[in-house]
């Protein structure tokens, strides 16, 4: 039986720390922290994520500025808004919820966000900084996964770490953060041959595939730390992860549930990054 890694509890600790520091910034320096969240179109999943981000801002004492734009918004209009937010001193962090509608080039939008306000850490300057270990922000989901691994007390150094998925948002930066901690890291993807033989070696297995119940017990080493980044909606409306929890849980040493695992951590780390951005912009980053 695996121990459950409680993302709700760990994220609550991170948010409480952010709330206290936000209060301190206000009391000692008169600084209000602000996050702008931009959503284009009416994708229901994106709407839920944006609402959750807004709630988290309220909980930690940030101002939140929401820009809900119609699906027909042009790339130029979105770039104009990003430019306005880059210049707005009340806005410390800017997040454009992805995916944006197909007629908008998401890379052009990410490139336009000031790297100092890029609290997703998606801008090429921030991604490059992560590669060389020189960064202000870490991307929210991989950073949240590291917090969850740390919560287990399992040491990453020297361990075999396998990441399934090679996206720019999760897989690639995840591998880099594990490498920074001296893990021996393998990235698997849709072309990987005999995937199960690779994943079975993992002391720490991170699944970010986007396919419901993809990781089954035969793919997992006895006692492994299993982190499930997936959020998939089944036909019956239920949420489930990339890991087949029912079969893997008896075999793993530690496992994250879905919901209540990585999801709440992503938002908590976004709050942490926004606070860091506000400190950096005011010359207060230690």
List interacting residues with ligand GUN (CB under 6 A). Answer: 95-98, 120, 140-141, 266
Q: Which is nearer to ligand GUN, 98 or 217 (CB)?
A: 98
Task: Identify any residues that bridge with 182 across adjacent strands, giving them in sequence order.
Answer: none
CB atoms within 10 A of CB 241: 29
Task: Identify any residues that bridge with 68 across adjacent strands, giving them in sequence order.
Answer: 39
Q: Which residues does 251 contact at the CB level (< 8 Å), separation at least 6?
A: 2, 217, 220, 222, 224
CA angle 271, 273, 275 (to 5 degrees): 70
Burial class (CB in 10 A: 0-12, 13-18, 19+), 63: middle
CB of 176 to ligand GUN, least distance (A): 16
For residues 264 and 5, the answer to whether their CB atoms sit within 8 Å is: no
For residues 280 and 135, the answer to whether their CB atoms sit within 8 Å is: no
Q: Which of 15, 97, 118, 281 is catalytic?
A: 97
CA atoms within 13 A on the CB side of 18: 29
CB of 58 to ligand GUN, least distance (A): 19
Q: Which is nearer to ligand GUN, 97 or 276 (CB)?
A: 97
Q: Which residues does 196 contact at the CB level (< 8 Å), separation at least 6?
A: 218, 219
Q: Which of 116, 118, 120, 242 is catalytic?
A: 120
CA-wise closest residue to 226 among 234, 239, 210, 247: 247
Cα separation, 23 vs 8, whole angstroms: 22
CB of 29 to ligand GUN, least distance (A): 28
Cα separation, 11 vs 2, whole angstroms: 20
CB of 141 to ligand GUN, least distance (A): 6
For residues 148 and 5, the answer to whether their CB atoms sit within 8 Å is: yes
Indicate if 97 belongs to the active site.
yes
CB of 264 to ligand GUN, least distance (A): 13
CB of 213 to ligand GUN, least distance (A): 20
Catalytic residue positions, numbered? 53, 97, 120
């Amino acid at each position: 039986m695996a121990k459950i890694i409680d993302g709700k509890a760990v994220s609550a600790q991170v948010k409480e720390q952010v709330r206290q520091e936000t209060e301190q910034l206000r009391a000692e320096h008169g600084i209000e922290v602000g996050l702008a969240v931009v959503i284009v179109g009416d994708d229901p999943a994106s709407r839920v994520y944006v609402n959750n981000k807004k709630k988290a801002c309220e909980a930690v004492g940030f101002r939140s500025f929401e820009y809900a734009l119609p699906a027909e918004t042009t790339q130029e209009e979105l770039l104009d808004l990003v430019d306005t937010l880059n210049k707005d001193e009340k806005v410390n962090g800017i997040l454009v919820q992805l995916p944006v509608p197909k007629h908008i080039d998401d890379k052009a939008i990410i490139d336009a966000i000031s790297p100092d306000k890029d609290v997703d850490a998606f801008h090429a300057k921030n991604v490059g900084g992560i590669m060389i270990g020189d960064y202000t922000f870490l991307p929210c989901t991989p950073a949240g996964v590291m917090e969850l691994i740390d919560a287990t007390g399992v040491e990453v150094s020297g361990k075999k770490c396998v990441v399934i998925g090679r996206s720019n948002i999760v897989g690639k930066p995840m591998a880099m953060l594990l490498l920074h901690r001296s893990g021996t890291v393998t990235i698997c993807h849709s072309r990987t041959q005999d995937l199960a033989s690779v994943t079975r070696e993992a002391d720490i297995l991170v699944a970010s595939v986007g396919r419901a119940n993809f990781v089954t017990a035969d793919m997992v080493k006895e006692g492994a730390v299993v982190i499930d980044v997936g959020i998939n909606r089944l036909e019956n409306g239920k949420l489930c992860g990339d890991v087949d929890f029912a079969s893997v849980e008896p075999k793993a040493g530690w496992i994250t549930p879905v919901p209540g695992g990585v999801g709440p951590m992503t938002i908590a780390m976004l709050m942490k990054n926004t606070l860091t951005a506000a400190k950096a912009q005011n010359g207060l980053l230690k």
